[in-house]
Amino acid sequence: MPDDYRRTLIRQISQHAHSEVVGQLPEGNWITRAPTLRRKAILLAKVQDEAGHGLYLYSAAETLGASREEMLDQLLSGKAKYASIFNYATLSWADVGAIGWLVDGAAIVNQISLCRTSYGPYARAMVRICKEESFHQRQGYEIMMTLARGSKEQRAMAQDALNRWWWPTLMMFGPHDAESYHSQQSMHWKIKRQSNDELRQKFVNQTVPQADFLGLAIPDPELEWNEERGHYHFGEIDWEEFSRVIAGKGPMSRDRLEARRRAHEEGGWVREAALAYAEKQGTRAAA
């Protein structure tokens, strides 16, 4: 395996793993406040799945010779990137719906394409993950549907969530193709199979009718069906905001990293205890 190819894969897979792990936090913020017991159970199961996705992906990266510790260090020191979308705050229950519908929806578009990626263990992790992501998206859409069919206050809550999550979701697909160095490299190695702009367009095309069905307005005055091209034309992303959040200056960037660091630091004595116990057991078995 060429060294550059291996390094690129480790970078992409570990970033993906970090995203799953940090991705537990925004929705996790609502588990204790979920408005029904059924919703609480579904949300808890979903966030648990994300932790599981993190585990499969770290394992896939480990097959390439990266250690979990190294990867974790990079996340906690702020060196490694993770999906910027998780640096936005969840302000209402509707955000849980919007994240499932839009963010998991966008993740599926990306990940379906990755099921054909050139590195086998990554592709296999993606196949497994994609199955669970579609359940995540359905539960999110179902929440949005319930709110959209609910009271005036609930509809306003749903619209507000869509307003806040729409653009950050489009940013999940990354910079325009022409500006994405990593993306071109990855396409060349067949790690990435479709370009950022292609995937973004695909997402917009499938999501606009879903918003229409909910009776919610996508916050983009330029959004319009283009008959000739057979797709939705949409407005330009605020690339300044994009760069700012990627650079770690999103509204929740500090909090997310801090939450991960705290969990890691507070867990230090637990990991030491587990290790010490295992060692004692080993000595006892040998004796």
Residues of this chain that bind other proteins (CB under 8 A): 21, 24-25, 28, 31-41, 44-45, 47-48, 51-52, 54-55, 58, 93, 143, 146, 150-151, 153-154, 259, 262-264, 266-278, 280
Chain centre distance of CA 109? 12
Output the smallest distance, CB 91 to Fe ion, in A. 20
136 binds Fe ion (CB under 5 A): yes
Name the residue nearer to Fe ion (CB basis): 5 or 90.
90
Name the residue nearer to other proteins (CB basis): 86 or 173.
86
Q: Which of 25, 30, 39, 50 binds Fe ion (CB under 5 A)?
A: 50
Name the residue nearer to Fe ion (CB basis): 53 or 256.
53
Output the smallest distance, CB 151 to Fe ion, in A. 28
Output the smallest distance, CB 147 to other proteins, in A. 8
91 contacts 164 by C-beta, under 8 angstroms: yes
104 contacts which partner out of Fe ion, other proteins, none, CB within 5 to 8 A by kind?
Answer: Fe ion
233 contacts which partner out of other proteins, Fe ion, none, CB within 5 to 8 A by kind?
Answer: none
Tokens representing residue 189 in the block: 């190695």
Calculate the CA dihedral of residues 135, 138, 144, 149 and round it to 10 degrees.
Answer: -130
Task: Give the interface segment with Fe ion, choosing from 75-83, 96-104, 224-232, 271-279 (CB under 5 A).
Answer: 96-104
Output the smallest distance, CB 97 to other proteins, in A. 10
Taking phi over 0 as left and psi of -120 to 50 as alpha, with beta for the rest, 215 belongs to left
Name the residue nearer to other proteins (CB basis): 51 or 178.
51
Output the smallest distance, CB 92 to other proteins, in A. 9
Q: Interface residues for Fe ion in 265-284 (CB under 5 A)?
A: none
Output the smallest distance, CB 264 to Fe ion, in A. 20
Binding interface with Fe ion (CB under 5 A): 20, 50, 53, 104, 133, 136
